[in-house]
Amino acid sequence: MTDAPAPPAGDRMAGLARPMQHALNNLFMVLHANLDSVLSGMPEGDKVTIRLQRASTGARDMELLLRAYFRLGRPQDRNPVDSGKFVEAVRPVLAQAVGKLLPLEVRSTAAITPPRPELDLALLDLAVGAKALPPTTKPTLALDGAVLIANWAAPEEAVASLGALGLTVESGKAETRVTLG
């Protein structure tokens, strides 16, 4: 037995991120396979079919959200990735921070090497800024190669956290541009 203090809760939770994601992948694979199998034998337009299709869509959305959430606790990663895949992977958790749907217009993509999970967390700081939008303005994102464009001003914390990662941030009253790396 040791007298060393237990690691902070965040460190302990981070250690569970990979095994939890692996377990969830297995559970979702079973769920999707069974829903797809049942749906393939159902008549089109039937009420039960429609309900099962909605359940399948909900399960896929839940999987994407949980993947994005668990990615926040994973160890640092600097592997190259397509910017579109990166933003799509983090978008479900950004939408939770915004509190609304967060559509993404992909104009083009580029290979990037984002500092993860630090960039994911800094983008959460950016997403909070969407809450200041007028009720009539819907938050949206656009991706132009390696540049992520938000239709709202970045909070100071977001500019600081993104800048600390060495990223270029241009923020005005109605738009923020972040070069993802």
Identify the CATH assignment for 81-179 out of 3.30.1490.190, 3.30.565.10, 2.102.10.10, 3.40.50.300: 3.30.565.10
Strands lying side by side in the sheet with 176-179 = 104-109, 141-145, 147-150, 176-179, 169-171
Is pLDDT at 10 greater than 70 in this prediction?
A: no
What's the mean pLDDT when you consider all of the chain? 91
Q: Which long-range contacts (CB under 8 A, 24 or more apart) does 36-45 make?
A: none
pLDDT value of residue 24: 87
Share of the chain above pLDDT 70, in %: 92
Is pLDDT at 111 greater than 80 in this prediction?
A: yes
- Terminal CA-to-CA distance of the chain, rounded, Å? 45
Length of the chain: 181
Q: Where are the domains of the chain?
A: 9-71, 81-179
Is pLDDT at 1 greater than 60 in this prediction?
A: no
Write the single-letter amino acid at 80.
P
Separation of alpha carbons 10 and 125, rounded Å: 18
Average of per-residue pLDDT across 102-121: 95
